[in-house]
Amino acid sequence: MVAVYRISAIAVMVEVAIQSMSVVFGIAGQGKWIQEGGVLDKAVIEAREFVFPEVIGYLIHGLNGTILIPLTALILLVSSFFTKVPGAVKWASLVLLAVAVQITLGMSASGLPVLGALHGLNALLLLGAAFYAARLVRRSRTADQGDRLASRA
Amino acid sequence: MGMGYAEHGGHGGQVAGGRSVTSLVADPRRPADVSVTLAAGKERFRLPSGRAFDGFTLNGGSPGPVIRATLGQLVEVRLVNGSVPDGITLHWHGVDVPNAADGVAGVTQDAVRIGEEHVYRFIADQAGTFWYHSHQMSHEQVRGGLLGALVVTPPEQPAETVDVVALVHLYDGVRTVNGNEGDVRVTVPPGKRARVRIVNTDNGPMSAWVGGASYRLVAVDGTDLNRPDPVRDTGVLVTAGGRADVEVTMPEDGSPVRVHLGGTTAVVLGSKSYDAPVVRPPATTLDLLSYGMRASLGFDPNRPDRRFDYDIGRRPGFLRGRPGLWWTVNGSIFPDVPMFVVNEGDVVRMRISNHSGDVHPMHLHGHHAVVLSRNGIPAAGSPWWVDSLNVADGESYEIAFVADNPGIWMDHCHNLPHAAEGLVAHLMYEGVTTPFMIGGTEGNEPE
Ligand SMILES: [Cu+2]
């Protein structure tokens, strides 16, 4: 279970990286399209078409953010109960909490754009929490091995 | 599949003698004044712009032909399905047709299968700009071009007004006017007037604005506004499914006028030159709550027989077994939505409020409703009659109408994917029944 815990924590970090990459990819593609004469309004957004290919970035951001990341964070929390590593449950809970906050901020940002800024900031907090969780089990595993080595000696 | 739970709006419900929607028709003995046959197909074809498109055609192209009628004429349209596997229908958006001609698969008819046909008959009893589109798998078929414009003109057309249809549609995300990209040129002599009939057939609101002259917004959703003043540097928001008729008087010096339709497309009115400069979208949008002069509504909305709430939200849950974040009507996810029950002759008041995080163009079939207030601020301008109302997130509208067209009528979001995601309710007259079924063996899927 320690391995599951560690892998899901790392997976959250990777997914957060994908999130920041995909959304900027989308924004950049949109900028290029507008430079070339494209016009974006609500009707075009609601057409749900690939008016520029980088729309895929927004799509990945949405699917990854609302399905994959919450699922990974959930796996992290479930596995944390079986690791028997002090602090594992706490850090997994913090990761899940940050994910919930992140989704809420993202969904509300179009009504109150300043929440979008907090969405960007909270991404770093989420990354930090996932990083700490991953390190936590590595540290305790090294400690485990150290103990075993010590007892063998 | 059911159509929701009955909501009586402050009246007891009693079932009067049953009437089938199929009996609610225009006078069958009256001969047609306007006869049109529309043959539908599913194919790859060329738009008027020259671009190839995979979608739906009517009489070989898209958009379908403009159907024109004079006020009071009986319009008869024969719809033939040549090759659309899912079946088709035609809904007459904004026309208060008899219920049997409303064209909603599973409610007023069965979808028309390949090789079959269906005849629609209605009297064009209101002069204005309308459109027609399929109401079978509408989120796919409307997007794919199974649509066209319908224009009803008064018998005495104002002389020397050039009538321009500007049906706006996104094909594969590319905006077109009557199927053309870029500028559509129309000849209007100096000093003469043009009426540009803007139809938004897409799923989100679009803006229109005018450069080179002032304009008047003379009609909304097929209903003339009362004494609209000329405006300048002001945009018009046309909601999804909505129409806006813009009237421009051409400058005497012959300079052209550009009617922008959402940025990339425009109708350019001119004579000697069509070199109208591009102008930026104006910062202000015309507010119809206070545009034009007040006039009688023809009924008293302050003593309603029924009061309904149409409250739009969004929450996590299950829609047809699928988990997700779904639209809610009065707190519940489809099919647990209200069916608003009325009697013929009732004055109905409805409060539409939206806190779902997104805009919804709300479309009531078979009726025009008048806007009484927005966010508690009473309407102070011309009577503002709508069939498609832009309800933005955080907004709340009070509307009223007279239940004068018996039947079973959809009352849904005209962002058609939203309707497919369950943002649908019905207005139901006591005692009216339908022999048709959503789903079932006929495969009726109105959304
Ligand atoms: Cu909607």
Q: What are B249-300's pLDDT values in tens digits? A: 999 999 999 999 998 899 999 998 999 999 999 999 999 999 999 999 999 9
Strand B265-270, strand B257-261: pairing: antiparallel
Choose the final residue of a domain: B153, B187, B216. B153
- Interface contact A43-B394, CB threshold 8 A: no
pLDDT digits (tens, 9 = 90+) for B147-158: 999 999 999 876
Q: Judge whether A12 lies within some domain.
A: yes
Residue A30: give the domain boundaries.
2-144
Q: Which residues lie across from B347 on neighbouring strands?
A: B402
Clarify whether residues B170 and B105 are in a common domain.
Answer: no
Q: Judge whether B20 lies within some domain.
A: no
Kindly give the distance from the C-alpha atom of residue B356 to the centroid of ligand 1, in angstroms, as a whole number.
9
Q: How many domains does chain B have?
A: 3
Q: Judge whether B441 lies within some domain.
A: no
* pLDDT score for B1: 44
Q: Judge whether A137 lies within some domain.
A: yes
Q: Judge whether B349 lies within some domain.
A: yes
- Mean pLDDT of all residues belonging to chain B: 94
Contacts of B385 (CB under 8 A, 6+ apart): B220, B221, B223, B368, B369, B370, B371
Clarify whether residues B428 and B311 are in a common domain.
Answer: yes
Q: How many domains does chain A have?
A: 1
Clarify whether residues B81 and B179 are in a common domain.
Answer: no
**A67, closest residue in chain B (CA to CA):** B324
Report how far residue A52's alpha carbon sits from residue A31's, in angstroms, rounded to the nearest whole number.
10
The residue-averaged pLDDT of B221-229 equals 97
CB B305 within 8 A of CB B400: no
Choose the final residue of a domain: B285, B316, B342. B285
Q: Is residue B418's pLDDT more than 70?
A: yes
- Interface contact A43-B205, CB threshold 8 A: yes
Q: Judge whether A88 lies within some domain.
A: yes
Question: Which of A40, A41, A59, A74 to mutate to probe the B interface, most B CBs <10 Å?
Answer: A41
* Nearest of B304, B311, B310 to residue B342 by alpha carbon: B304
* pLDDT score for A144: 54
* pLDDT score for A111: 83
| Residue with more model confidence, B94 or A140 | B94
The order of strands in the sheet holding B128-133 is: B67-70, B147-153, B128-133, B91-93
Residue B196: give the domain boundaries.
161-285
**ipTM, two decimals:** 0.84
Q: How far is CA B235 from the centre of its chain?
A: 20
Instruction: Classify residue B101 by its DSSP letter.
Output: G
Q: Which residues of A touch B357 (CB under 8 A)?
A: 107-108, 110-111
- Note whether B172 contacts A: Cβ–Cβ < 8 A: yes
Q: Judge whether A149 lies within some domain.
A: no
Clarify whether residues B346 and B277 are in a common domain.
Answer: no
Clarify whether residues B185 and B117 are in a common domain.
Answer: no
pLDDT digits (tens, 9 = 90+) for A4-36: 999 999 999 999 999 999 999 999 999 999 988
Clarify whether residues B129 and B64 are in a common domain.
Answer: yes
Q: Is residue B113's pLDDT more than 70?
A: yes
pLDDT digits (tens, 9 = 90+) for A31-86: 999 988 888 999 999 988 899 999 999 999 999 999 999 999 999 999 999 998 99
Choose the final residue of a domain: B136, B153, B170. B153
Clarify whether residues B142 and B175 are in a common domain.
Answer: no
How far does A139 lie from chain B, in Å, by closest CA?
A: 38
- Note whether B206 contacts A: Cβ–Cβ < 8 A: yes
Q: What is the pLDDT confidence band of residue B12, given thresholds at 50, 70 and 90?
A: low
- Note whether B287 contacts A: Cβ–Cβ < 8 A: no
Clarify whether residues B247 and B216 are in a common domain.
Answer: yes
CB B41 within 8 A of CB B82: yes
Clarify whether residues B36 and B147 are in a common domain.
Answer: yes
- Note whether A36 contacts B: Cβ–Cβ < 8 A: no
Clarify whether residues B149 and B223 are in a common domain.
Answer: no
Clarify whether residues B170 and B223 are in a common domain.
Answer: yes
Clarify whether residues B241 and B330 are in a common domain.
Answer: no
CATH number for the domain spanning B357: value is 2.60.40.420
Interface of A with B in 56-115 (CB under 8 A): 66, 107-108, 110-111
Q: Judge whether B293 lies within some domain.
A: no
Q: Is residue B159's pLDDT more than 80?
A: no
* pLDDT score for B438: 87
**Percent of chain B whose pLDDT exceeds 70:** 98
